[in-house]
Amino acid sequence: MPARARSAEGVTDVHGADLPVRRRRARQIVKILGETYPDAHCELDFTTPLELLVATILSAQCTDQRVNAVTPALFAAYPDAAAYAAADRGDLERLVGPTGFFRQKAKTVQALGQQLCDRFGGEVPGRLVDLVTLPGVGRKTANVVLGDAFGVPGITVDTHLGRLARRFGWTVETDPERVEAELMTLFPRKDWTLMSHRVIWHGRRRCHALRPACGACPVARLCPSFGEGPTDPAVAERLVRTAGRG
Protein backbone atom coordinates (compact mmCIF):
# COMPACT_ATOMS: atom_id res chain seq x y z
CA MET A 1 0.00 0.00 0.00
CA PRO A 2 1.44 3.43 -0.89
CA ALA A 3 2.47 5.72 1.95
CA ARG A 4 -0.13 8.31 2.85
CA ALA A 5 0.46 11.99 3.53
CA ARG A 6 -0.75 13.34 6.85
CA SER A 7 -3.96 15.33 7.05
CA ALA A 8 -4.26 18.50 9.07
CA GLU A 9 -5.10 16.36 12.13
CA GLY A 10 -2.50 13.67 11.51
CA VAL A 11 -4.82 10.92 10.22
CA THR A 12 -2.43 8.38 8.78
CA ASP A 13 -3.89 4.89 8.69
CA VAL A 14 -6.33 2.93 6.58
CA HIS A 15 -7.07 -0.15 8.64
CA GLY A 16 -4.88 0.74 11.59
CA ALA A 17 -7.95 2.10 13.34
CA ASP A 18 -10.64 -0.27 14.53
CA LEU A 19 -13.97 -0.42 12.72
CA PRO A 20 -15.91 1.93 15.04
CA VAL A 21 -13.25 4.63 14.63
CA ARG A 22 -13.15 4.20 10.85
CA ARG A 23 -16.94 4.21 10.72
CA ARG A 24 -17.20 7.39 12.77
CA ARG A 25 -14.57 9.18 10.68
CA ALA A 26 -16.18 8.08 7.39
CA ARG A 27 -19.60 9.29 8.48
CA GLN A 28 -18.15 12.60 9.61
CA ILE A 29 -16.58 13.08 6.17
CA VAL A 30 -19.87 12.35 4.42
CA LYS A 31 -21.74 14.71 6.76
CA ILE A 32 -19.37 17.53 5.82
CA LEU A 33 -19.70 16.68 2.14
CA GLY A 34 -23.47 16.91 2.58
CA GLU A 35 -23.08 20.43 3.94
CA THR A 36 -20.75 21.28 1.06
CA TYR A 37 -22.97 19.77 -1.66
CA PRO A 38 -26.54 19.99 -0.30
CA ASP A 39 -27.99 19.38 -3.76
CA ALA A 40 -25.93 16.29 -4.59
CA HIS A 41 -27.91 14.00 -6.86
CA CYS A 42 -27.62 11.83 -9.95
CA GLU A 43 -26.42 14.12 -12.75
CA LEU A 44 -27.98 12.09 -15.54
CA ASP A 45 -31.33 13.49 -16.72
CA PHE A 46 -34.22 11.02 -16.67
CA THR A 47 -37.92 10.69 -15.90
CA THR A 48 -38.38 6.88 -15.88
CA PRO A 49 -36.35 3.85 -14.78
CA LEU A 50 -35.81 2.91 -18.43
CA GLU A 51 -34.45 6.34 -19.26
CA LEU A 52 -32.02 6.20 -16.34
CA LEU A 53 -30.95 2.67 -17.25
CA VAL A 54 -30.21 3.64 -20.85
CA ALA A 55 -28.48 6.88 -19.83
CA THR A 56 -26.26 5.03 -17.38
CA ILE A 57 -25.22 2.54 -20.05
CA LEU A 58 -24.39 5.41 -22.39
CA SER A 59 -22.35 7.16 -19.70
CA ALA A 60 -19.58 4.54 -19.89
CA GLN A 61 -16.40 6.34 -21.01
CA CYS A 62 -18.45 9.51 -21.47
CA THR A 63 -19.39 12.54 -19.37
CA ASP A 64 -22.87 12.93 -17.97
CA GLN A 65 -23.11 16.29 -19.73
CA ARG A 66 -22.54 14.67 -23.12
CA VAL A 67 -25.10 11.97 -22.35
CA ASN A 68 -27.65 14.59 -21.28
CA ALA A 69 -27.16 16.37 -24.60
CA VAL A 70 -27.97 13.17 -26.48
CA THR A 71 -30.82 11.66 -24.49
CA PRO A 72 -33.69 14.10 -25.20
CA ALA A 73 -33.79 13.08 -28.87
CA LEU A 74 -33.06 9.45 -28.01
CA PHE A 75 -35.85 9.20 -25.45
CA ALA A 76 -38.30 10.92 -27.79
CA ALA A 77 -37.49 8.44 -30.57
CA TYR A 78 -37.59 5.36 -28.31
CA PRO A 79 -40.13 5.87 -25.52
CA ASP A 80 -40.23 2.26 -24.31
CA ALA A 81 -38.40 -1.05 -24.36
CA ALA A 82 -40.29 -2.29 -27.41
CA ALA A 83 -39.15 0.74 -29.39
CA TYR A 84 -35.50 0.01 -28.59
CA ALA A 85 -35.96 -3.66 -29.51
CA ALA A 86 -37.46 -2.73 -32.89
CA ALA A 87 -35.06 0.14 -33.62
CA ASP A 88 -33.18 0.46 -36.87
CA ARG A 89 -29.60 -0.13 -35.77
CA GLY A 90 -28.22 2.63 -37.96
CA ASP A 91 -30.65 5.20 -36.58
CA LEU A 92 -29.87 4.15 -33.05
CA GLU A 93 -26.12 4.35 -33.67
CA ARG A 94 -26.52 7.84 -35.09
CA LEU A 95 -28.38 9.07 -32.03
CA VAL A 96 -25.96 7.62 -29.47
CA GLY A 97 -22.89 8.41 -31.59
CA PRO A 98 -21.67 11.44 -29.58
CA THR A 99 -21.31 9.28 -26.46
CA GLY A 100 -18.55 7.18 -28.03
CA PHE A 101 -18.32 3.44 -28.70
CA PHE A 102 -21.62 3.96 -30.48
CA ARG A 103 -21.82 0.60 -32.24
CA GLN A 104 -21.42 -1.42 -29.05
CA LYS A 105 -23.71 0.90 -27.08
CA ALA A 106 -26.43 0.75 -29.73
CA LYS A 107 -26.15 -3.05 -29.81
CA THR A 108 -26.36 -3.22 -26.02
CA VAL A 109 -29.35 -0.87 -25.75
CA GLN A 110 -31.23 -2.77 -28.45
CA ALA A 111 -30.53 -6.10 -26.74
CA LEU A 112 -31.60 -4.55 -23.45
CA GLY A 113 -34.94 -3.51 -24.94
CA GLN A 114 -35.49 -6.99 -26.32
CA GLN A 115 -34.74 -8.72 -23.02
CA LEU A 116 -36.95 -6.34 -21.09
CA CYS A 117 -39.79 -7.22 -23.45
CA ASP A 118 -39.09 -10.95 -23.41
CA ARG A 119 -38.53 -11.38 -19.69
CA PHE A 120 -40.04 -8.48 -17.78
CA GLY A 121 -43.07 -7.33 -19.74
CA GLY A 122 -41.21 -4.33 -21.10
CA GLU A 123 -40.58 -2.91 -17.61
CA VAL A 124 -37.28 -2.34 -15.82
CA PRO A 125 -37.12 -4.74 -12.85
CA GLY A 126 -36.61 -3.25 -9.42
CA ARG A 127 -34.35 -5.97 -8.03
CA LEU A 128 -30.57 -6.14 -8.21
CA VAL A 129 -30.64 -9.88 -8.91
CA ASP A 130 -32.71 -9.24 -12.05
CA LEU A 131 -30.99 -6.08 -13.23
CA VAL A 132 -27.53 -7.61 -13.37
CA THR A 133 -28.75 -10.27 -15.79
CA LEU A 134 -29.55 -7.62 -18.43
CA PRO A 135 -27.16 -6.64 -21.25
CA GLY A 136 -24.72 -3.92 -20.23
CA VAL A 137 -25.82 -3.90 -16.59
CA GLY A 138 -23.34 -4.58 -13.80
CA ARG A 139 -23.66 -3.83 -10.11
CA LYS A 140 -22.69 -0.17 -10.56
CA THR A 141 -25.39 0.48 -13.16
CA ALA A 142 -27.92 -1.57 -11.22
CA ASN A 143 -27.27 0.41 -8.03
CA VAL A 144 -27.69 3.71 -9.89
CA VAL A 145 -31.08 2.60 -11.17
CA LEU A 146 -32.20 1.10 -7.87
CA GLY A 147 -31.16 4.10 -5.82
CA ASP A 148 -32.38 6.89 -8.07
CA ALA A 149 -35.34 5.38 -9.92
CA PHE A 150 -36.71 2.97 -7.30
CA GLY A 151 -35.54 4.43 -4.01
CA VAL A 152 -33.73 1.22 -3.07
CA PRO A 153 -30.44 2.04 -1.29
CA GLY A 154 -27.30 1.12 -3.19
CA ILE A 155 -23.60 2.05 -3.32
CA THR A 156 -22.46 3.15 -6.76
CA VAL A 157 -18.75 2.39 -7.05
CA ASP A 158 -17.74 4.38 -10.10
CA THR A 159 -14.20 5.66 -10.70
CA HIS A 160 -14.75 8.66 -8.43
CA LEU A 161 -16.17 6.77 -5.47
CA GLY A 162 -13.53 4.07 -5.73
CA ARG A 163 -10.72 6.62 -5.89
CA LEU A 164 -11.99 8.68 -2.96
CA ALA A 165 -12.76 5.64 -0.82
CA ARG A 166 -9.08 4.76 -1.07
CA ARG A 167 -7.91 8.33 -0.50
CA PHE A 168 -10.12 8.67 2.57
CA GLY A 169 -8.71 5.45 3.98
CA TRP A 170 -12.02 3.61 3.84
CA THR A 171 -10.57 0.73 1.85
CA VAL A 172 -7.44 -0.47 0.09
CA GLU A 173 -9.43 -2.52 -2.39
CA THR A 174 -9.48 -1.75 -6.12
CA ASP A 175 -12.14 -4.25 -7.20
CA PRO A 176 -15.49 -2.36 -7.25
CA GLU A 177 -17.45 -5.19 -5.64
CA ARG A 178 -14.95 -5.44 -2.79
CA VAL A 179 -15.04 -1.67 -2.33
CA GLU A 180 -18.83 -1.83 -2.23
CA ALA A 181 -18.80 -4.59 0.36
CA GLU A 182 -16.38 -2.70 2.60
CA LEU A 183 -18.33 0.55 2.40
CA MET A 184 -21.47 -1.33 3.39
CA THR A 185 -19.84 -1.87 6.80
CA LEU A 186 -19.18 1.86 7.28
CA PHE A 187 -22.55 3.41 6.46
CA PRO A 188 -26.15 2.58 7.34
CA ARG A 189 -28.09 1.11 4.44
CA LYS A 190 -30.51 4.03 4.28
CA ASP A 191 -27.59 6.38 3.49
CA TRP A 192 -25.90 4.36 0.74
CA THR A 193 -27.38 6.22 -2.24
CA LEU A 194 -26.90 9.72 -0.84
CA MET A 195 -23.40 8.90 0.37
CA SER A 196 -22.52 7.80 -3.15
CA HIS A 197 -23.78 11.05 -4.66
CA ARG A 198 -21.94 13.23 -2.16
CA VAL A 199 -18.62 11.46 -2.64
CA ILE A 200 -18.98 11.41 -6.43
CA TRP A 201 -19.76 15.14 -6.47
CA HIS A 202 -16.65 15.79 -4.40
CA GLY A 203 -14.57 13.68 -6.77
CA ARG A 204 -15.86 15.60 -9.77
CA ARG A 205 -15.47 19.04 -8.25
CA ARG A 206 -12.48 18.98 -5.91
CA CYS A 207 -10.81 15.62 -5.34
CA HIS A 208 -9.60 15.15 -8.92
CA ALA A 209 -7.60 12.13 -10.00
CA LEU A 210 -4.43 13.99 -10.96
CA ARG A 211 -4.49 17.27 -8.99
CA PRO A 212 -6.90 17.21 -6.08
CA ALA A 213 -7.69 20.63 -4.64
CA CYS A 214 -6.40 19.75 -1.17
CA GLY A 215 -6.07 23.35 -0.01
CA ALA A 216 -9.74 24.01 -0.81
CA CYS A 217 -11.11 20.75 0.58
CA PRO A 218 -13.73 20.84 3.34
CA VAL A 219 -12.62 17.45 4.71
CA ALA A 220 -8.87 18.05 4.59
CA ARG A 221 -8.46 17.66 8.35
CA LEU A 222 -9.95 14.15 8.17
CA CYS A 223 -8.21 12.98 5.01
CA PRO A 224 -5.09 10.79 5.27
CA SER A 225 -4.22 11.71 1.67
CA PHE A 226 -4.04 15.46 2.31
CA GLY A 227 -1.12 16.82 0.33
CA GLU A 228 -1.51 14.73 -2.82
CA GLY A 229 -2.58 17.98 -4.50
CA PRO A 230 -1.74 21.66 -3.91
CA THR A 231 -2.29 22.70 -0.30
CA ASP A 232 -2.05 26.43 -0.88
CA PRO A 233 -5.65 27.69 -0.69
CA ALA A 234 -5.34 30.13 -3.58
CA VAL A 235 -3.74 27.55 -5.87
CA ALA A 236 -6.21 24.87 -4.86
CA GLU A 237 -9.23 27.11 -5.31
CA ARG A 238 -8.38 27.51 -8.98
CA LEU A 239 -8.77 23.74 -9.39
CA VAL A 240 -12.30 23.67 -7.99
CA ARG A 241 -15.05 23.12 -10.54
CA THR A 242 -18.54 24.46 -10.05
CA ALA A 243 -20.01 21.54 -12.01
CA GLY A 244 -18.92 17.96 -12.50
CA ARG A 245 -17.58 16.64 -15.79
CA GLY A 246 -18.79 13.07 -15.48
Active site residues: 140, 158
Q: Write down how long the chain is.
A: 246
User: In a 3-state reduction of DSSP, which class is residue 29?
Assistant: helix
227: alpha, beta or left? (left if phi > 0; alpha if psi -120 to 50): left
DSSP 89-153: HHHHHHHHGGGS-HHHHHHHHHHHHHHHHHHHTTS--S-HHHHTTSTT--HHHHHHHHHHHS---
Nearest to 199 by CA among 53, 30, 83: 30
DSSP 37-104: -TT----S--SSHHHHHHHHHHTTTS-HHHHHHHHHHHHHH--SHHHHHT--HHHHHHHHGGGS-HHH
CA atoms within 13 A of residue 44's CA, in its CB half-sphere: 29
